Structure 1
Amino acid sequence: MKALIIEDEIPSSRRLARKLADAEVEVVAELSSVRQSIAWLKNNEHPEVFFVDIQLGDGLVFEIFKEVSITSYIIFTTAYDMYALQAFDYKSIAYLLKPITNEKLAEGIAKVKNFQAIPNRMEEIQQLVQYSKETVTKDSFAVKIGRKIKIIKLAEIVCLYSEYNTTFIHTKNDQSFPIDYSLSHLETVLPRQIFNRANRKFILHKTFIKDIISYTNSRLQIKLNNFKEQEIIVSRERVKDFKNWLN
């Protein structure tokens, strides 16, 4: 079996490579960034399985999968559990939390072999995960205001945005509150018929969209009710999905 490692921490990558070699898995390459991985995957034959960290130095590994078609099996190796549901949007068969034990690694390798023997099993699991994501969603957030806790319902949220490495909820009362979730995680728990990721910094509530304006390079500019702090541009790669969501 051949494998690819995508990991931005060099010691972790080398340690994993040694463990895989002991398990008779050949590592064909060790990559450390989104950009490097996209370039390599576009120009090389893909091995049977990828071992990938989620948070890389130049972005989330999911950005790679948006640029390159992946048919290999994927085993996520990460210190964070917040991305588990999103990970299964892709052909993921295991989600290993660091530090990775030999036992857990062996289980992941065994899963690859098992899935190779039963081709349709991966599709069945992805259907179940998609059902879970559609039926298990958040309906409110608890935010701290001084010594008090305030409950904010989804209907009150104009948008969610990232700034200074912090995620904020902005409400129809023109207030912003920090929350302990990444936008990538919020994509997995917010109802998709109501909320949409416009770009790296914003998730928008459909009800509060005031205007949609054509913008340069085939992008869209969005004006929201009760939010004037920042310009919101739907990135070109998200425009098609955004238009489908509006309909």
Structure 2
Amino acid sequence: MTTIIIEDEKPAARLLQRKLSKLNIEVGVMLHSVEESIEWFSNNEHPDLIFLDIQLSDGLSFEIFEKMEIKSAVIFTTAYDEYALKAFKLNSIDYLLKPIDEDDLEAAISKYKTRLPKPETNLSLDFEQIRKMLSNPFEKNYKKRFTIKIGQHLKVISSDEIECIFSENKGTYIHTFDNRSYLLESTLEVLENELDPKEFYRISRKFIIPLKSVKEIVVYSNSRLKVILPSYKEDEVIVSREKVSDFKNWIR
């Protein structure tokens, strides 16, 4: 079985590759953009199976299929909410919701193997229908408040009060604009999908920051960026090198 990954975040692509390797599935190629994928498909034999992210750095991955006839089976890897996933079900496409669980990955592979398409079968996708589902007027209800336990008391913190969210010593903390930090019963991976991506961005493995807390941005070493926040001074807030380009687009 020949397999490729199309994912714009290289760390995520490498993580998926490692998980597939545990299932004895070798990934032939990892592609990271619509343009790169179209060029590769134009010059190479198409694989049996594609693990495909929806949002790539230069557009929606659907554009690849709109410009080329590709007969490969597809498993979407996506952070989209459940309402959007209905579109994939309607088109008999499997999907894995990020962060990808290894058991779910194994189940998806097993499902693919039991439903192997015939070589002459073309994967027909109703892209217009999927686009409509992704722009569903019933928008996702993003997390707006957090309940923090402090001793025998509960404190409610609004998302507007958050200066940053950070991980430290296996714990996840909210740091507020009044220069206080609170321990959360969650992880950055979970919060990344619960917070409005227009307002919050995960700049590294350690930090999620809201747009409103960005006080200053400084060019840092190794093609990275340093973000200056209003009150958080415990550690340097650095944008990972692989996230710099996407971060610049986010703050525009």
Matched, 1:41 2:42: no
2:208 match: 203
Query: Residue in 1 aligned with 2:95?
Result: 94
Paired with 2:76 and 2:145, the residues of 1 have a C-alpha distance of 32
For structure 1, the 5+ residue unaligned runs are: 14-28, 32-36, 53-61, 77-82
Deviation at 1:118, TM superposition (A): 5.3
Would you tell me which structure has more strand in proportion to its own residues?
A: 1
Q: TM-score of the superposition, structure 1-length normalised?
A: 0.61
* Equivalent residue, structure 2, for 1:175: 180
Q: Which of 5, 10, 25 lines up with 1:30 in the alignment? A: 25
2:234 is paired with a residue of what secondary structure?
strand
- Specify the code of the residue in structure 1 equivalent to 2:250: W
Residues 104 and 221 of structure 1: CA distance in aligned 2, closer, same or farther (over 3 Å): closer
Partner Cα separation in structure 2 for residue 179 and residue 126 of structure 1: 35
For the 8 Å contact 1:157–1:170, the answer to whether it is kept is yes
The alpha-carbon deviation at position 102 of structure 1 amounts to 8.0
Give deviations 1:160-188, integer Å, cap 9, x for gaps: 11222332211112222222333233222
Name the structure 2 match of 1:139: 144
Q: Give me the whole-angstrom Cα distance separating, in 2, the residues matched to 1:196 and 1:133.
A: 22
Write the letter of the residue equivalent to 2:164.
C
Distance 2:138 2:194 in 1: 7
State whether residues 168 and 178 of structure 1, in contact with CA within 8 Å, keep that contact through their aligned partners in structure 2: yes
Q: Counterpart of 2:178 in 1: which secondary structure?
A: coil
Residue type of the partner of 1:30? I
Q: TM-score, normalised by structure 2?
A: 0.60
Aligned-residue CA RMSD (Å): 4.4
Once the two structures are TM-superposed, the CA of residue 45 in structure 1 deviates from its matched residue by 6.4
Cα deviation 1:74-95 (Å, max 9, x = unaligned): 267xxxxxx674997xx97234
Per the alignment, in what secondary structure is the counterpart of residue 226 of structure 2? strand
Stretches of structure 2 lacking an aligned partner (at least 5 in a row): 5-15, 32-43, 65-71
* Count of aligned pairs between the two proteins: 202
Structure-2 separation of matches of 1:216 and 1:99? 38
Q: Is the 8 A contact 1:137 1:190 kept in 2?
A: yes
Deviation track 1:170-229 (CA, whole Å, cap 9, x = no partner) reads 111222222233323322221122111212211111212221111123321111012111
State, as a whole percentage, how many aligned pairs show the same letter.
31
- Report the residue type matching 1:93 in the other structure: D
The equivalent residue for 1:74 is 75
Cα gap change, 1:194/1:217 in structure 2, threshold over 3 Å: closer, same or farther?
Answer: same
Residue 155 of structure 2 is matched in structure 1 by 150
Which of 239, 243, 251 in structure 2 is aligned with 1:246? Answer: 251
